[in-house]
Structure 1
Amino acid sequence: MDKALVLLKSLAELDGEVGVSELARRSQLTKSTAFRLLGILHRNDLVERVGSNYRLGSQIFDIGTRAYGPTPLLLRELLMPYLADLYELTHETVHLAVLHGTEIVYVSKLHGHRAAHSPSHVGARLPAYCTGVGKALLAFDHDAAEAATAQGLPARTEHTLSDPDRFRAALGRIRQDGIAYDHQEAAPGLTCVAVPVMGATGRPVAALSIAGADTRFDPARFAPALRRVAHEASRAVIAARTRQRRPAAMARP
């Protein structure tokens, strides 16, 4: 199992179609062992064969999307139309993310025409304290915010809010204004604006953001559109929750 997992990790790192010899070299396995294990992985749809090369299979994606439970998947299906609306309004890179402990997980992403270099991709995790979506979510989750502060706020860039008092003050402003900004705090040259998507309990279930290169991107310009789309997305979440409750109520004697 260890050897098979090493092969899968090597395929993921190489990000494409790779031959047996290269995979064996990368994984420090003999070619015969790599070939035998790839055959087993292929039969289980964990890898796909393309001619004489291999790439990750569809089953890997199915397993990966379930890593954080069913909620992110359900939210992605429900909120994807609103993410698409946001993209159409801005043509910038847009994100949908959820909070997982003190980190955020990117559930979906649509790339803009002038996308800036970013550490975000679907399934990626980043510390919540230094991202727009993360701060938008932490501002309304006291326990998670305090846990993040207690773990420390190491500076990822020279702009990261690493001082606990300044960080708490920033979360207070986000609670008041309902909008969060990331001015090159997660990655140099990257700026974004984010808002929470509220659920039926009045707490956020996800966050939406728009991101772009700091040299040309004015996040305040896109704040009104982001607020409108997030408001509609929140209504969709609440409506979906109401529909889920209705059959249960009708089933009661």
Structure 2
Amino acid sequence: MTTDTFQAGRDDRAAVDKAISLLVSFGADAASGVGVSELARRAHLSKSTAFRVLGMLERNGVVERIGRDYRLGARLHELGRSVYSSGLEPLRDRLMPYLCDLYEATHETVHLAGLHGTDVVYLAKLYGHRHVKSPSRIGGRVPAYATAVGKAMLAHDPDALELTLARRMVRFTTATVADGEALQDQLADVRHRGIAREDEEVVPGLACLAAPVFGPTGRPVAAMSISVPAGRLDQQRLEPLLRQVTGAATKALARTRAAAPSRPTRQQLAVSA
């Protein structure tokens, strides 16, 4: 449907719906910028309506104008950061050297993630020399039960596990473990071995190994993972490296109690999930 078609009829969507449609329409051009005509086409709005709504968003710092184009503004990034626990950013800064160590030891794609409610939040990602198809992105959220980093933390977090089991678990692929009993069996194995594994549970062709990083209280505050194509996961080689790095990170946090974020209550977890 063209923009002209929308101009010919009345658009009864509320202003907030139009604003959200425009923000979503930036897509991969959020940083580089998009013209008003293209944004109007993507959002199915008339050009005049798109221009008016963009002006309102610009006045509030949600979008910025660069020449004739628009891009997402600083206010939107600030709002995005405020969604997650304030303790995650300093934790990321504290653990980044260890994630770099893991990358140097493996040269594979590695992740650092925290737990936000029942979701994994990706805090950092370093790309390996060999491309691996992965949907993860910094700041992105994925249900913890479907990921290796999530299972590494759920195995040692009874409150988050209880919330996970109380919610409906959906399947992303045919391999996703979306049954509560089967998930608990997996987590028991994670507690026994100290390593979590994900085999094509989020996207086909992707396999991951993960291990938790514990805070001074003995509860997991983060997890690190190694991602490779499913056909070449060398668990025998990668497991010891993962244990070594996450163990060193755990010891570092134990030396600095203030480095670990405060533990949210079960009620706070339920609200944030």
Superposition TM-score tier, normalisation by shorter sequence: 0.7 to 0.9
1:88-120 deviations in Å (ceiling 9; x for gaps): 221111111111222211111112122321121
The answer to which of 133-142 and 228-237 deviates more is: 228-237
Partner of 1:125: 141
Shift of 1:132: 0.2
Shift of 1:13: 6.2
Q: TM-score, normalised by structure 2?
A: 0.81
Partner of 1:228: 244
Q: What are the equivalent positions in structure 2 for 1:133-212 lying under 5 Å apart?
A: 133-212=149-228
Partner of 2:92: 76
The answer to which of 10-19 and 125-134 deviates more is: 10-19
- 5+ residue gaps, structure 1, are 245-253
Aligned residues: 244
Tell me the distance in 2 between the aligned counterparts of 1:169 and 1:69: 29
Percent of matched pairs sharing the same residue: 50
Amino acid at match of 2:241: A
| C-alpha spacing 1:116/1:60, structure 2 compared with 1 (3 Å) | same
The root-mean-square deviation of aligned C-alpha atoms, in Å, is 2.2
- 5+ residue gaps, structure 2, are 1-14, 261-273
Q: State which of 92, 95, 114 in structure 1 corresponds to 2:108.
A: 92
Amino acid at match of 1:25: R
Tell me the distance in 2 between the aligned counterparts of 1:9 and 1:154: 24
Amino acid at match of 2:26: L
Tell me the distance in 1 between the aligned counterparts of 2:228 and 2:198: 11
Q: What are the equivalent positions in structure 2 for 1:237-252 lying under 5 Å apart?
A: 237-241=253-257
Tell me, what secondary structure is at the counterpart of 2:77? helix
Q: TM-score, normalised by structure 1?
A: 0.86
Is 1:10–2:30 an aligned residue pair?
Answer: no
Amino acid at match of 2:199: H
Tell me, what secondary structure is at the counterpart of 1:69? coil
The answer to which of 94-103 and 27-36 deviates more is: 27-36
Conservation of the 8 A alpha-carbon contact between 1:93 and 1:110: yes
Tell me the distance in 2 between the aligned counterparts of 1:4 and 1:154: 30
| C-alpha spacing 1:58/1:115, structure 2 compared with 1 (3 Å) | farther
Shift of 1:170: 1.4
Is 1:51–2:67 an aligned residue pair?
Answer: yes
Tell me the distance in 2 between the aligned counterparts of 1:162 and 1:31: 44
Partner of 2:270: none
Partner of 1:248: none
Tell me, what secondary structure is at the counterpart of 2:101? helix
Q: Which 4+ residue blocks in structure 1 deviate beyond 4 angstroms?
A: 13-16
1:47-71 deviations in Å (ceiling 9; x for gaps): 2333322222233223212211301
Tell me the distance in 2 between the aligned counterparts of 1:236 and 1:23: 48
Conservation of the 8 A alpha-carbon contact between 2:146 and 2:176: yes
